[in-house]
Homo-oligomer: A and B are copies of this chain.
Amino acid sequence: MSFSEQTISSETVFEGKVFDVCCQEVILDDNSKASREVVIHHGGAGILALDNDKNTFLVRQYRKGAECEMLEIPAGKLEKGENPKECAVRELREEIGAEAEKTEMLCEFFPTPAYCSEKITVFLAEGLTMHSQQLDSGELLEIIKLPFEKAVEMVMSGEITDAKTIISLLKAKELLRL
Protein backbone atom coordinates (compact mmCIF):
# COMPACT_ATOMS: atom_id res chain seq x y z
CA MET A 1 0.00 0.00 0.00
CA SER A 2 1.33 3.45 -0.84
CA PHE A 3 -0.24 6.82 -0.07
CA SER A 4 -0.33 10.03 -2.06
CA GLU A 5 -2.19 13.33 -2.16
CA GLN A 6 -2.65 14.86 -5.57
CA THR A 7 -2.86 18.67 -5.56
CA ILE A 8 -5.80 19.87 -7.66
CA SER A 9 -5.54 23.55 -6.76
CA SER A 10 -3.06 25.70 -4.87
CA GLU A 11 -3.37 29.36 -3.95
CA THR A 12 -0.55 31.40 -2.40
CA VAL A 13 -2.23 33.36 0.40
CA PHE A 14 0.89 34.88 2.00
CA GLU A 15 4.33 35.71 0.63
CA GLY A 16 6.92 36.53 3.27
CA LYS A 17 10.67 36.81 3.66
CA VAL A 18 11.00 33.61 5.70
CA PHE A 19 8.13 31.55 4.27
CA ASP A 20 5.06 31.60 2.02
CA VAL A 21 1.68 30.01 2.77
CA CYS A 22 -0.43 28.03 0.26
CA CYS A 23 -4.00 26.77 0.57
CA GLN A 24 -4.41 23.57 -1.42
CA GLU A 25 -7.19 21.21 -2.41
CA VAL A 26 -6.03 17.60 -2.67
CA ILE A 27 -7.43 14.23 -3.75
CA LEU A 28 -6.70 11.31 -1.44
CA ASP A 29 -6.24 7.68 -2.51
CA ASP A 30 -9.88 6.88 -1.70
CA ASN A 31 -10.88 9.68 -4.13
CA SER A 32 -12.13 11.93 -1.36
CA LYS A 33 -11.08 15.59 -1.35
CA ALA A 34 -9.45 17.48 1.49
CA SER A 35 -8.02 20.96 2.16
CA ARG A 36 -4.42 21.53 3.24
CA GLU A 37 -2.69 24.66 4.55
CA VAL A 38 1.04 24.50 3.85
CA VAL A 39 3.95 26.71 4.94
CA ILE A 40 6.48 26.75 2.09
CA HIS A 41 10.04 27.11 3.41
CA HIS A 42 13.35 26.62 1.54
CA GLY A 43 14.82 24.55 4.37
CA GLY A 44 17.40 25.07 7.06
CA ALA A 45 20.84 23.86 8.07
CA GLY A 46 22.47 23.48 11.46
CA ILE A 47 25.88 22.49 12.76
CA LEU A 48 26.93 20.58 15.86
CA ALA A 49 30.53 21.60 16.56
CA LEU A 50 32.81 19.52 18.77
CA ASP A 51 36.26 20.68 19.84
CA ASN A 52 39.16 18.36 20.74
CA ASP A 53 38.09 18.35 24.42
CA LYS A 54 34.53 17.24 23.51
CA ASN A 55 32.99 20.63 24.18
CA THR A 56 30.13 21.80 22.01
CA PHE A 57 28.88 25.32 21.18
CA LEU A 58 25.27 26.42 21.58
CA VAL A 59 23.76 29.85 21.09
CA ARG A 60 21.27 31.44 23.46
CA GLN A 61 18.81 33.82 21.83
CA TYR A 62 15.22 35.02 21.99
CA ARG A 63 12.92 33.20 19.59
CA LYS A 64 9.78 35.01 18.55
CA GLY A 65 7.86 31.84 17.53
CA ALA A 66 8.34 30.20 20.93
CA GLU A 67 8.25 33.61 22.74
CA CYS A 68 11.15 32.62 24.99
CA GLU A 69 14.93 32.26 25.06
CA MET A 70 16.23 29.03 23.55
CA LEU A 71 19.54 27.17 23.57
CA GLU A 72 20.30 25.92 20.06
CA ILE A 73 23.04 24.67 17.81
CA PRO A 74 24.12 27.34 15.27
CA ALA A 75 21.64 27.21 12.39
CA GLY A 76 20.06 29.26 9.66
CA LYS A 77 17.69 29.37 6.76
CA LEU A 78 18.81 28.29 3.30
CA GLU A 79 18.66 30.85 0.55
CA LYS A 80 16.62 29.49 -2.38
CA GLY A 81 18.70 26.72 -3.98
CA GLU A 82 21.55 27.05 -1.46
CA ASN A 83 23.56 23.98 -0.51
CA PRO A 84 22.86 23.03 3.17
CA LYS A 85 26.56 22.44 3.93
CA GLU A 86 27.51 25.94 2.73
CA CYS A 87 24.79 27.41 4.94
CA ALA A 88 25.88 25.36 7.99
CA VAL A 89 29.55 26.33 7.57
CA ARG A 90 28.51 30.01 7.25
CA GLU A 91 26.39 29.86 10.42
CA LEU A 92 29.29 28.29 12.34
CA ARG A 93 31.56 31.13 11.19
CA GLU A 94 29.01 33.91 11.82
CA GLU A 95 27.40 32.76 15.08
CA ILE A 96 30.34 31.03 16.82
CA GLY A 97 33.30 32.46 14.90
CA ALA A 98 34.66 28.97 14.22
CA GLU A 99 35.99 27.10 11.19
CA ALA A 100 36.16 23.31 11.05
CA GLU A 101 38.66 20.97 9.40
CA LYS A 102 36.03 18.24 8.98
CA THR A 103 32.29 18.75 8.33
CA GLU A 104 30.09 15.69 7.75
CA MET A 105 26.33 15.24 7.49
CA LEU A 106 24.76 14.05 10.77
CA CYS A 107 21.02 13.99 10.00
CA GLU A 108 18.14 15.28 7.89
CA PHE A 109 14.59 15.65 9.18
CA PHE A 110 11.27 17.46 8.83
CA PRO A 111 10.32 19.47 11.95
CA THR A 112 6.58 19.61 11.07
CA PRO A 113 5.92 17.50 7.95
CA ALA A 114 2.11 17.80 8.13
CA TYR A 115 1.93 21.50 7.32
CA CYS A 116 5.44 22.79 6.54
CA SER A 117 7.89 21.91 3.77
CA GLU A 118 10.98 22.77 5.81
CA LYS A 119 13.69 20.11 5.89
CA ILE A 120 16.63 20.69 8.22
CA THR A 121 20.06 19.18 7.52
CA VAL A 122 22.54 19.08 10.39
CA PHE A 123 26.30 18.63 10.07
CA LEU A 124 28.90 17.52 12.58
CA ALA A 125 31.98 19.77 12.64
CA GLU A 126 35.30 18.73 14.16
CA GLY A 127 38.84 20.16 14.25
CA LEU A 128 37.84 23.73 15.15
CA THR A 129 39.79 26.99 14.80
CA MET A 130 38.25 29.91 16.67
CA HIS A 131 37.95 33.47 15.28
CA SER A 132 35.23 36.01 16.23
CA GLN A 133 31.42 36.23 15.73
CA GLN A 134 30.08 38.05 12.63
CA LEU A 135 26.39 38.51 13.39
CA ASP A 136 23.70 39.73 10.99
CA SER A 137 21.77 42.85 12.00
CA GLY A 138 18.68 41.95 14.05
CA GLU A 139 20.55 38.98 15.56
CA LEU A 140 21.52 39.15 19.24
CA LEU A 141 22.92 36.00 20.77
CA GLU A 142 25.33 34.61 23.34
CA ILE A 143 27.70 31.70 22.68
CA ILE A 144 27.58 28.96 25.30
CA LYS A 145 30.53 26.56 25.29
CA LEU A 146 29.83 23.44 27.34
CA PRO A 147 30.86 19.77 27.55
CA PHE A 148 28.95 17.61 25.05
CA GLU A 149 27.87 15.38 27.93
CA LYS A 150 26.40 18.34 29.82
CA ALA A 151 24.41 19.35 26.70
CA VAL A 152 22.96 15.81 26.51
CA GLU A 153 22.03 16.05 30.23
CA MET A 154 20.20 19.31 29.43
CA VAL A 155 18.23 17.49 26.72
CA MET A 156 17.26 14.72 29.13
CA SER A 157 16.26 17.19 31.89
CA GLY A 158 14.11 19.21 29.47
CA GLU A 159 16.21 22.41 29.61
CA ILE A 160 16.97 22.18 25.88
CA THR A 161 13.66 22.27 23.99
CA ASP A 162 14.67 23.05 20.40
CA ALA A 163 13.96 20.06 18.13
CA LYS A 164 17.06 20.30 15.88
CA THR A 165 19.32 20.64 18.92
CA ILE A 166 17.75 17.65 20.72
CA ILE A 167 17.98 15.49 17.58
CA SER A 168 21.58 16.48 16.83
CA LEU A 169 22.83 15.86 20.37
CA LEU A 170 21.05 12.51 20.83
CA LYS A 171 21.96 11.25 17.37
CA ALA A 172 25.63 12.24 17.81
CA LYS A 173 25.67 10.53 21.21
CA GLU A 174 24.42 7.27 19.66
CA LEU A 175 26.70 7.53 16.65
CA LEU A 176 29.93 8.53 18.37
CA ARG A 177 29.15 6.53 21.53
CA LEU A 178 29.93 9.65 23.57
Contacts and interface: CB of A to CB of B under 8 A. Distances in A.
Interface of A: 1-5, 13-14, 16-19, 21, 23-24, 26, 28-30, 32, 34-39, 60-70, 72, 107-119, 137-138, 140-142, 155-156, 158, 161-164, 166-167, 170-171, 173-175
A26 B7 CA distance: 36
Sorted nearest first, the 10 A-B pairs with minimum C-beta distance are A111-B111, A66-B113, A34-B138, A170-B170, A3-B62, A63-B113, A36-B64, A16-B37, A65-B116, A163-B163
Given A39-B39, A156-B174, A112 B117 contact: no
A155 B138 contact: no
Chain A at the B interface: SS class: mixed
Contact of A66 (B17, B21, B110, B140): B110
Nearest to A107: B158
Which of A4, A68, A112: most chain B Cβ within 10 A?
A112
